[in-house]
Structures are given as C-alpha cells and as structure tokens.
Structure 1
Amino acid sequence: MSVVTTMAMYTVGVSALTTRVSYPLYAAVPAPAFVAYHRRYNRQILPVIIVPAAICFLGCLSLPFLRPAAVPVWVALLIAAGGLIALLATVTAAVPAHLRLQRDGFATDAYARLRFADRIRTAACVGSAALLVWSMVLAFVPR
C-alpha cells in the first residue's frame, strides 16, 4: 500500500505540473514546430509519467482485493474508482488526443479534448491520493 500511495502522490505532482505548465505550453509552440516538439515530449515521458501513472492506476484498482483490514471496503472502492476513472480518461481521451496532435499538429479540438481528459484524470488522482494517505493513517498509525 505504501508503494501505491507514493506513486499516487508522485502522479498528483506530475499531473499538476502537466496541467499548469506542460499542456499550456502546447498552445505556445509555433505550428510548424509542433509535431517535432510533441514527438520529443512523447519520447521523454515513459519513465517519468507513464510508468509511475500505470503503477498508481493499477495499484488503486487492486486495493479492494489487497487492502489492510483497517481500511474500510468503501474507502478501497473509492480509491479503485479514482484509479479506474484516471485510467479511462487517459486511454479513451488523452491518448487519442495526443496521437492526433502528434500526427496532424496542433488542433484546437484535440487540444481541448486533451485538457478535458487531463482535468478528469487529475481530479481522480487527487481524490485517490488523499484517500490513500488517509488509509495509510488508518492502517499504520496506532490508535
């Protein structure tokens, strides 16, 4: 559980940086340079964004099955729901938007879809991370 909590906190930080810095910069890249910029961005994100996020999302999904006894089932289910929502927002909206941006260049509608998916993913990650921290307190702090 501590690994999932750590990855969730890390993912929240990366999500905040992406929301506030990385994605807004997309709109500032000159159109002729956008595809090259996006390809370079995508080559860099596997170890710092994709792998930790996958660990977080899948770890959240596994929590109802692997939760410590002190963590209520409903809390584990909410954490899992956050992981599922984040995963679905990524796979169904963010990834297709990224693929389109990389293939066709900057497009307002693909960018808007990416930003929408990012807001959903970030909110889900924040919710799961907060519940995971609370679960760590329930599971490991003596009362």
Structure 2
Amino acid sequence: MDFSHVYLLVLTVAGVYMAAIALMTTQVSYPLYAAVPREAFIGYHERYNRRIRPVIVTPGLPTFVACAGFAFLRPDAVPVWLALLVAAGGLAALLATATAAIPSHLRLRREGLTARPYRTLRTADAIRTTGCLLSAAALIAALLNAFGPR
C-alpha cells in the first residue's frame, strides 16, 4: 500500500467523522442555542467554544484542507472527477467556516444570541454540513474504487 492509499484511508475516516459531527451540530447543538436563557447565553457560548476545540476545530480544519489536497494525492484508481468532489466538499466547508461561521461565533460571543449572527451561523453551518456530506460520500466511493475488485 502506497502513500496515496494510506492518505485515502485516513482521510475517509476523518471525513466520515466530520460529516457525523456536522450533522450533530446542525441537528442538536445550534438549535439548542435558542433554549439557553438570554442572560446566560454568553457564558454558555464561551464554554461551548472551549469544549468544541478538541472534537470539532482540531480535526475539522485539517480535514477540510486534506480534502482539498486529495485531488493531487489520490490513488490512480480514483477518477479525477471523484477526487474533485472530495476537494469541492472540503473547500466549501473550509470557506463557510472561515468566512461566516467563525465571524458569527465571535459576534455571538460579544453580543449574545442575536438574530443576524445566528442566522448567518446557521447558513454557514448548512453549507459546511453539505460540504462534509459531499466529501464523505465521495471518499467512500473513492475507497471502493481504490480497494475494490479490479
């Protein structure tokens, strides 16, 4: 097994993990923001941000970047178009996080739960989740191409 196959295996595990985390965030974490009393939100959000670093931020950003690089590091058995889907999902997740989700979290930390940054966060989250799901599905297909019967 060469480097490109190991890269694919590790990236598939990371990509599926990030897709699961993204779905949990979309369906559970962010909707629960609305259940936090207004006067307690800033403290809640601060604790939330500290706790997500090791389970979301630390694996997420490298996974998004690694997905973007997969087009250049794919095994030969993986079609270019499939590798480009992996890359597109990673880039979409990275851009949504960097340009909208992070700034929204910073505003929520300062202002509390206000409509505009919360709406922007939910939109960025939908884009990121879609990107994660696209990458994960394409990575599974790539895995089948690379390790399937020839």
Asked if these proteins are the same fold (TM beyond 0.5), I'd say: yes
The 4+ residue runs of structure 1 with deviation greater than 3 A are none
Q: Give the equivalent residue in structure 2 for 1:140.
A: 147
1:30 is aligned to 2:42: no
Of 21, 33, 51, 2:58 maps to 51
1:48 partner letter? V
What are the equivalent positions in structure 2 for 1:1-143 lying under 5 Å apart? 1-143=8-150
CA deviation after TM superposition for structure 1 residue 68, in Å: 0.1
Decide whether the 8 Å contact of 1:62 with 1:80 is kept in 2.
yes
When normalised by structure 2's length, the TM-score is 0.93
Structure 2: 5+ residue stretches without partners: 1-7
Which residue identity is paired with 1:37? Answer: Y
- Report which stretch shifted further, 76-85 or 86-95: 76-85
Aligned length: 143
Q: Which amino acid aligns with 1:109?
A: R
Q: Deviations over 1:10-43 (max 9, x none)?
A: 0111111101110001011111100000000000
Please give the secondary structure, in 1, of the residue aligned with 2:68. Answer: helix
What is the TM-score normalised by the length of structure 1? 0.97
Q: Which amino acid aligns with 2:139?
A: L
How much has 1:55 moved relative to structure 2? 2.5
Preserved contact between residue 85 and residue 121 of structure 1 (Cα < 8 Å): yes
Gaps of at least 5 residues in structure 1 are none
Give the deviation of 1:142 after TM superposition. 2.0
Task: Tell me by how many angstroms 1:75 deviates.
Answer: 1.1
Percent of aligned positions that are identical: 55
- Rounded to whole Å, the distance in 2 between the matches of 1:51 and 1:110 is 23
Shift of 1:80: 0.6
Task: Give the superposition deviation at 1:133.
Answer: 0.2
Verify the 8 A CA contact 1:4 1:55 in the aligned structure 2: no
Give me the whole-angstrom Cα distance separating, in 2, the residues matched to 1:16 and 1:64: 25
What is aligned with 2:4? Answer: none
The amino acid that maps onto 2:93 is: A
Q: RMSD of the TM alignment (CA)?
A: 0.8
Secondary structure of the residue aligned to 1:111 is helix
1:45 counterpart SS class = helix
